[in-house]
A = this chain, B = another copy of it.
């Protein structure tokens, strides 16, 4: 109801504000008897954490994973696996000037409208920091998916108007923008650094490919696999759109072009993006999300304050000029959560 829980058969519940004591996640429905180590989770946390390069915020969150429950002698027990991350390097004073004014692009105004009260420190619950708990939960899902032979990889496809022209999966984690084209990556970094210097930010497109999913996954009607992935992705603050397979290009295609024909060996094309009728085809699942430019920019902007007066604001702080590189592990984490949940739902249906 209140929206801090995701999934049904494999379910996470997260808590925590940007500048509170800690954030964390409780994972319920974990398969018992699976070997898991804090390191398995830490490696994903490190991909999301800030301060990795010139293109991310220098805020230091060590994001050290602490498993509090659900693991015994190195194995999952089937009881809730809870993970806590303590907040560090909190500088609430840096945000004191934003206490009274609504930062453009941020949820300051809407949170106040909704709750009548808000924790203004670093965006409170609306902070991108919240996604750290998702990545921790997703890392556990990924661990379970590995046993099923499922692989999930996301990467920057376009950034600041620069598009990847090639797809080199090995290149992704070797460049700071996590682009799939190492040459485009060089241009992207330049672009982002330039925008950062100007106090501005840019958007981009992140693509995700999922391999090894069995055909037959996804529930019909409302909980279609693509519907659930869409919800998962749009639940990430900066994401403003999603498309599967041919996506929006399908709007300009004919049925004879878009339909994926088959021969005796299987599908010949993948315009559907690996999902038909909400159910996996067994092909690669492919989708792209539109990532808006980071809202926090230091250029002056017009806004309103809590008294209803107009004022100018410059969002000083430590921010990412583009969130794409750090959103990549969040996209993967959410995809992992959706998939593991649907594997378990399929098991329930057949079981």
Contact with B along A215-251 (1 / 0, CB 8 A): 1111111111011111111110100111111111111
Chain B contacts for A142, CB-based, 8 A:
none
Does the CB pair A200–B255 fall under 8 Å? yes
Determine how many copies of this chain the complex contains.
Answer: 4
Does the CB pair A15–B272 fall under 8 Å? no
* Choice from B221, B254, B293 contacting A254 with Cβ under 8 Å: B293
* Complex: chain B residue closest to A271, CB-CB: B292
- Name the residue among A11, A26, A254, A260 with the largest chain B CB count within 10 angstroms: A254
Q: How far is the CA of A268 from the CA of B304 in the complex (A)?
A: 11
Is there a chain B Cβ closer than 8 Å to A151's Cβ?
Answer: no
**Chain A, interface SS category:** mixed
Chain B contacts for A273, CB-based, 8 A:
240
Does the CB pair B32–A276 fall under 8 Å? no
Q: How large is the interface on A (under 10, 10 to 19, 20 to 34, 35 or more residues)?
A: 35 or more
Does the CB pair B250–A291 fall under 8 Å? yes
Q: How far is the CA of A290 from the CA of B230 in the complex (A)?
A: 13
* Complex: chain B residue closest to A22, CB-CB: B68
Does the CB pair B351–A250 fall under 8 Å? no
Chain B contacts for A106, CB-based, 8 A:
276-277
Does the CB pair A297–B256 fall under 8 Å? yes
Is there a chain B Cβ closer than 8 Å to A175's Cβ?
Answer: no
Chain B contacts for A272, CB-based, 8 A:
105, 240
Interface-lining segment among A52-60, A118-126, A165-173, A176-184: A118-126
Is there a chain B Cβ closer than 8 Å to A149's Cβ?
Answer: no
Give 30 CB contacts A-B under 8 Å.
A1-B28, A15-B80, A17-B72, A22-B68, A32-B116, A33-B115, A72-B124, A77-B125, A104-B262, A105-B276, A107-B276, A109-B215, A109-B276, A110-B218, A110-B275, A114-B215, A114-B218, A114-B346, A224-B235, A229-B234, A230-B233, A240-B250, A240-B273, A250-B290, A256-B297, A259-B293, A259-B297, A263-B303, A264-B309, A348-B348
